[in-house]
């Protein structure tokens, strides 16, 4: 039984087709809980993300600033997710500039206790 990585990040509609990971879009495009609670308190939605215990978070930045204008219930909460004390369990493993106009970069953070952390780093470097 192979463990499937859970990735929290944008573009969850397309990315699962190109990877073997399960994707959870914090914007709410592919998750019933987030979609049903879109107008609920942001803190509850952020709690939900951390309760899922994802192996990887992908947060978007423009330079050193977090993107704060995505659509959806958590589209303006990237910095809040990053500064949440639970996020200290994650370490940055890669950064990729978005191809479409270079407006922002995808920054990958993996859970520090991930047994395959070195493999994830190696795959993202190549």
pLDDT digits (tens, 9 = 90+) for 6-45: 999 876 666 667 777 888 887 777 888 888 888 889 999 9
pLDDT of residue 114: 92
Distances (CA, A) of 26 to 2, 113, 123: 25, 22, 23
Residue 122: is its pLDDT beyond 80? yes
pLDDT digits (tens, 9 = 90+) for 63-89: 888 888 877 788 888 899 999 999 999
**Cβ atoms < 10 Å from Cβ of 12:** 21
pLDDT digits (tens, 9 = 90+) for 36-54: 888 889 999 999 999 999 9
Q: Tell me the C-alpha distance between 107 and 105, whole Å.
A: 6
């Amino acid at each position: 039984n192979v463990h499937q990585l859970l990735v929290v990040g944008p573009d969850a509609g397309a990315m699962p087709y190109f990877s073997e990971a399960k994707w959870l879009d914090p914007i709410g495009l592919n998750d019933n809980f987030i979609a049903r609670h879109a107008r609920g308190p942001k803190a509850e939605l952020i709690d939900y993300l951390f309760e899922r215990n994802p192996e990887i978070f992908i947060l978007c930045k423009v330079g050193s600033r977090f993107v704060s204008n995505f659509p959806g219930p958590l589209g303006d909460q990237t910095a809040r997710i990053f500064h949440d004390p639970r996020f200290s369990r994650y370490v940055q493993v890669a950064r990729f500039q978005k191809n479409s106009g270079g407006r922002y970069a995808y920054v990958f953070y993996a859970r520090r206790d991930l047994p395959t952390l070195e493999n994830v780093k190696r795959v993202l470097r190549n």
